[in-house]
Structure 1
Amino acid sequence: MRQPPPPSLTTPLHDALTGGPAWLHDTAASRLLETAALARQPRPGHLMALAGLSVARLALAITPRMHASQGRVWVLSGPGNNGGDGLVAARHLHQAGRQVNVVQMGDADRSPEDARQAFEAARDAGVSFVDAPPVPAASSEDLIVDALLGLGQSRPPTGSLAAVVAWQRQQTRAVTLAVDLPTGLCADTGSVLDPRGELVVQAQHTLSLLTLKPGLFTHHGRDLAGRIWLDTLGQTDTALAAGASARLLRSQAAEAAWPARHHAQHKGSFGDLWVIAGAPGMTGAAWLAARAALAGGAGRVYLATLSGAAEVDPLWPELMQRATADWQKPGVLEAATVVCGCGGGETIAALLPEVLARAGRLVLDADALNAIAASDALLRALQQRRSAGLATVLTPHPLEAARLADVHTAAIQQHRLQAAQALALRCDSVVLLKGAGTVIAGPAAMPCINTSGNARLATPGSGDVLAGWLGAAWSAMPSPSASAGDTDLRWQAATRQAMQAASAAAWVHGAAAEIAPVDARLPLRASQLAAAMTQVLQPAPLR
């Protein structure tokens, strides 16, 4: 009778979306941490031994029904240390009774020393080595371990590596576990290195080792990495925080933004919010933003549509319709949070100078962003809000961000994290760059990547709901204590608060798509979204 695997092979790992350190490290920072960890290891090969053991543990955990008589493990081992991690895992899985075949790429004798020793240990343990993966295909009982390249990939796979990646792409029945990150994916940006988008591994699980890489969580990374796991290989949270280039947003972002309300509070405690949006033919966007603002907790919500139509919403009679002349009265916008631009059309451009000059807290979306992108004068007015101590949040989708940055959309998507940071600096604003792995960046803050959400949010009006909800979160926050100080200190405090509101709203917005009781194959309509976001914040513990 086969003995069960040793206890170390059944120890759980961190699911990166729900637990463990939330710090993200680009390639350069990861290399620095790796160098420091190698210098501290008690003996040569210790770090690789830990990494390979982690891969084996996760491989067993995600294939609980795999039997030695049926399923096989195909370890695709590259020529470097990532391949060495795969070889250590292959040895452990072989010793645990799995049928393991290693497809060794390159000459093991020319590999780094630790990887060469891992090869010899696997061979001596009786692991089977083959020249090529099976033809025509792996079975539904099989597991593929992608240990080809790992960190530091800068160009598409070529030659025999490309052939193995192409084979993996055809294995739609087998489960694939990528070691550190899928081969063919840029660790820093989440872009596919192959211009055609073909030579990249499609994984159902990815085990990130030592650090979490930004590219796993944005652009193509979310689709290609599958479920992301983390083993820090003994690194302390202090060490990880010191070298981080970004961080992940989890449910804690929402918990802090919507504290329990006190009995002595009243509607005035949660601020006035104005929605200035909705040109003729596009008033639906304004209504969506205003409803979301009310549902998200703003004290009083006023809607001033650019169409000039005054009407009562029979489903949301709490919303108060106002005319443009009402918010143009002295002191109104200065004391309010303003959400501006949703469905604003070309009409919004004429009103933006006054809104930019006066709004106490300002969320700019959609056509307001397009108007600023088309006008140097409006861009300067946006930048001048800093000198007045006034904070701003921009909520562009990639095309709007490209217009603001005066680049092609592809440049935004290929470098989402860096693009959001650059735009935040250019506009002296918090930037919430929507898309796969929404990025929240501030002019003087570590950027965040949101972990919640899915493609169900890719539907008309979804961004309008996000803008309104963000405004509500910000409106309910008390004025920062630095407001009595000098102007720049006041701006810094207000911008930190804006970053908190944007982060919290992004997380709740995404989480709503995960819990809403609608067929997951269909989009979540914007008219349903605010109710789903409310459900996320129900008393049951946030996940």
Structure 2
Amino acid sequence: MHPAADRPYPALLSTQQIRAREHGMASQLPRYTLMARAGEATARLALALAPHARQIWIACGAGNNGGDGLEAAIHLRAAGKAVHLSLATGAGRTGPADAAPADAAQALQRAQAAGLVCSNAPPADFDLAIDALWGIGLRTDTASMPQGPALSWLQQLLHTERDVLCIDTPSGLSADTGAWADWLADAVPQAPRGRRFTLSMLGLKPGLFTLHGRDWAGEVWLAPLDAHNPIWRCDQAAPLDGTGLDGGRLVSHAQAPTLVHHSHKGQFGDVGVLGGQAWGAEGQGMEGAAILAASAALHAGAGRVMLHLLGSSTQSARPAGIAADIMLRSLPGLQALRGSLVCGCGGGSLVAAALPQALAHAGSLVLDADALNAIASSAALQQALVQRASLAGPTVLTPHPLELARLLATDTATLQRDRIGAARQAAQQWQCLVVLKGSGTVVAAPDGRYAINHSGNARLSIGGTGDVLAGCIGAHLAALPPGAAWADAWQPLLNAVWLHGHAADTWPPQRMLTASRLARSLQRPG
């Protein structure tokens, strides 16, 4: 293992970029060097993860992913492990062994010379499995469905309670999107039954960190396959040279500013929250959503927090549950606010009337929930959103998949098959920052850059946590200077998204997490 570097934003590389990197490195090295390094790195990680494993099953495809597995088998056998090799033929179909790529063929010869015997069946029992069936080269359309025993091996890998180490990617999972292959999706369990690990070769793939990738890739490690052949855990990996997929990054830490003692509340900025349609408006009170957003902004470090509940009167009694630190404001008073405005949380149908003023004049603007639904159904509001990019401060959209599908005039299933592409499309179309919530939240910018957040867990799958996120983002944008652009908001936005998930990751396991508790657990950056 290699000492971990404190570099919080490792690059994410597309399949095309990985292939380019592989080609560039291979052209400068003796033949078979990269496969030798990949196999040796896999064996070292397997020994570290399961030092007491006696029987190791390595399921190998006929391509280079299988070659990596064969090379790993040689090292594991030399380390005294009992290795059971299952080898497919003909690129996952039936066919002659000489159809394998040259490096994979050499790996097979080396394995046989080392005394390893290949079988067409898995062992009766094993302590650790290594998935070396198919890597980034596997096509995911139904017409390209592989044939032969490797499919049944994959099913066993998906259903086993034993630990599984995947080489490069979990077989059948898109390295770019985190979606399962069309021919496999209906046969995959909802969640793994055992621990999962993935050793990503050459660079980190975005699909390992979003949608199904977060569950099925498990704990992700990186083997850059350079001369020293280190292994890095993904949240501690040093970024490689070059950019990711148009600037893709994995957000695994927050980069917080240093706070000085000589500070005052004005330096932390003001946050206004506009939403929370009152009970009297349509007989459906949603005040709680806006109160949660305001509480989150308060605890995440805003200097002052102001709240207007849509449909309420300034003469009304102060609603219960609003902290004394939060100031109530009339709608005109809130719209004149400098700082950041969080708009839409529980806004109901009344938020549409307030949006034109917010889009035209707000400094930093966070649009969530009902504000997004109102924009999706109004051509005039969509035009105002686009015009805002050149007239006002940075705008952040915080949709869940259904809300973004409405904005892009598509359906949720289609959007989820390419979450990164959908978030980037929306950011470019509306010229704003987009936070697509879900497993592996995607943050995208108008220039094509994106990041995948690595914090958070299933505890956030409860009502109100999205409102908390909106308020947290508002707090992090509140201190931006007048005239700030979206690029100025990029880093504070990443910090806010990561800290929101981190609060859930560090929540005591014996205590129930609710949105109100989540809001109170947020911390000011720095």
| Structure 1 and Structure 2 fold alike (TM over 0.5) | yes
State the SS of the aligned residue for 2:485: helix
Equivalent position SS for 1:241 = coil
- What root-mean-square deviation, in Å, do the aligned CA atoms of Structure 1 and Structure 2 show? 2.2
Q: Retained in 1: the 8 A contact 2:66–2:133?
A: yes
Q: Which residue of 2 aligns with 1:36?
A: 24
Which amino acid in structure 1 is aligned with residue 252 of structure 2? R
Larger deviation, residues 51-60 vs 159-168: 159-168
Note if contact 1:207-1:230 (Cα within 8 Å) is conserved in structure 2: yes
**Distance of 1:13 and 1:170 partners within structure 2:** 34
The 5-angstrom pairing of residues 27-426 of structure 1 reads: 27-41=15-29, 43-66=30-53, 71-106=54-89, 107-135=96-124, 138-139=125-126, 142-155=127-140, 156-172=145-161, 174-194=162-182, 197-199=185-187, 204-234=196-226, 237=239, 239-241=241-243, 245-251=247-253, 254-256=254-256, 259-280=257-278, 281-308=285-312, 309-311=316-318, 316-328=323-335, 332-333=336-337, 335-426=338-429
The one-letter amino acid of 2:108's match is F
The CA distance in 1 between the partners of 2:488 and 2:221, in whole Å, is 31
Task: Evaluate the alpha carbon distance shift between residue 14 and residue 414 of structure 1 in structure 2; reply closer, same or farther with a 3 A threshold.
Answer: farther
2-side partners of 1:30 and 1:108: how far apart? 26
CA distance in 2, matches of 1:164, 1:13: 35
Specify the code of the residue in structure 1 equivalent to 2:166: A
CA distance in 1, matches of 2:431, 2:307: 27
Q: State the distance in 2 between where 1:101 and 1:166 align.
A: 17
1:307 CA displacement: 3.2
Is the CA contact 1:276–1:340 (under 8 Å) kept in the aligned structure 2?
A: yes
- Note the 1:481-520 alignment, pairs <5 A: 483=483, 494-519=485-510
SS at match of 1:79: coil
1:48–1:84 Cα contact (<8 Å) kept:
yes
Report the equivalent of 1:489.
none
CA distance in 2, matches of 1:327, 1:143: 59
Tell me the secondary structure at the aligned position of residue 135 of structure 2.
coil
Distance 1:516 1:20 in 2: 22
2: CA distance, partners of 1:101 / 1:371: 58
Matches of 2:261 and 2:55, distance apart in 1: 62
Give me the whole-angstrom Cα distance separating, in 1, the residues matched to 2:219 and 2:76: 21
Of residues 237-246 and 224-233 in structure 1, the stretch that sits farther from structure 2 once superposed is 237-246
Secondary structure of the 1:393 match is strand
| Secondary structure of residue in 2 paired with 1:298 | coil
How far did 1:14 drift? Answer: 6.1
Verify the 8 A CA contact 1:306 1:347 in the aligned structure 2. Answer: yes
Alignment CA distance shift 1:314-1:224 (3 Å)? closer
Q: Which whole-Å deviations, capped at 9, do the CAs of 1:447-478 have from their partners, x for residues lacking one?
A: 00001111111110000000001000110234
Whichever residue aligns with residue 247 of structure 1, its letter is: R
Give the letter for the 1:263 counterpart.
H
Letter in 1 for 2:121: A
TM-aligned CA distance change 1:115 to 1:83, over 3 Å? same
Aligned counterparts of 1:134 and 1:324: Cα–Cα separation in 2: 69
Aligned to 1:302, the other structure's residue is in SS state: strand
C-alpha contact (below 8 Å) 2:13/2:244 kept by paired residues = no
- 1:242, distance to aligned residue in structure 2 (A): 6.9
1:376-429 CA-to-partner distances (Å, cap 9, x unmatched) read: 100000111012142200000000000000100112111000100000011111
Amino acid at match of 1:190: G
Q: Give 1:289 deviation, angstroms.
A: 0.3
Task: Tell me the secondary structure at the aligned position of residue 248 of structure 1.
Answer: strand
Determine the C-alpha separation between the residues in 1 that align with 2:398 and 2:23.
Answer: 38
Deviation of 1:326 (Å):
2.4
Distance in 2 (CA, whole Å) between partners of 1:475 and 1:495 is 13
1:314-349 Cα deviation digits (max 9, x unpaired): 662010011223235xxx23x231000000011101
**CA distance in structure 2 between the aligned counterparts of 1:395 and 1:243, rounded to whole angstroms:** 22
Q: Relative to 1, partners in 2 of residues 1:326 and 1:432: Cα closer, same or farther, differing over 3 Å? A: same
Q: Please report the TM-score for the alignment, with normalisation by the length of structure 1.
A: 0.86
Whole-Å Cα distance in 2 between the matches of residues 176 and 105 of structure 1?
A: 18
SS in 1 for 2:522: helix
Shift of 1:170: 3.0
Contact 2:476/2:496 (<8 A) preserved: yes
Moved more, 237-246 or 273-282: 237-246
**Higher deviation after alignment, 53-62 or 382-391:** 382-391
CA distance in 2, matches of 1:508, 1:406: 31
Alpha-carbon distance in structure 1 between the residues aligned to 2:305 and 2:296: 10
Conserved in 2, the CA contact under 8 Å of 1:310 and 1:321? no
The 2-side partners of 1:169 and 1:13 are apart by: 32
The letter of the residue matching 1:153 is L
- Aligned partner of 1:344: which letter? G
State the Cα deviation string for residues 418-450 of structure 1 (Å, max 9, x = none). 100000011111000000100000101510000
Q: Which amino acid aligns with 1:51?
A: A
Residues 7 and 239 of structure 2 are in contact (CA less than 8 Å); yes or no, is this contact kept in structure 1? no
Count of aligned pairs = 493
Residue 460 to residue 300, structure 1, CA distance change in 2 (3 Å):
same
How far, CA to CA, are the matches of 2:372 and 2:492 in structure 1?
Answer: 19
Look up the SS of the partner of 2:296 in the other structure: helix
User: What residue number does 1:490 align with?
Assistant: none
Q: Could you tell me which amino acid in structure 1 is paired with residue 275 of structure 2?
A: A
Q: Distance in 2 between matches of 1:218 and 1:531?
A: 27
Cα displacement string for residues 129-175 of structure 1 (whole angstroms, at most 9, x for unaligned residues):
2121134xx34xx1111001111222244332211111222322x21
Whether the aligned pair in 1 keeps the contact of 2:455 and 2:501 (CA below 8 Å) is yes
| Counterparts in 2 of 1:441 and 1:85: CA distance versus 1, 3 Å | same
Change (3 A) 1:20 1:60: farther
Deviation at 1:108, TM superposition (A): 3.6
Structure-2 separation of matches of 1:82 and 1:352? 52
Q: In 1, distance between residues paired with 2:198 and 2:28?
A: 26
Of stretches 100-109 and 341-350 in structure 1, the one that deviates more from structure 2 is: 100-109
Amino acid at match of 2:37: L
Once residues 468 and 176 of structure 2 are traced to their aligned partners in structure 1, the CA distance between those partners, rounded to angstroms, is: 30
Determine the C-alpha separation between the residues in 1 that align with 2:31 and 2:437: 44
The code of the aligned residue for 1:23 comes to: A
Q: 1:28 to 1:120 in 2, by over 3 A?
A: same
Q: Give the CA deviation at 1:40.
A: 1.0
Question: Which whole-Å CA distance do the structure 1 matches of 2:273 and 2:435 have between them?
Answer: 18
- Is this contact kept in 2: 1:283–1:307, CA < 8 A? no
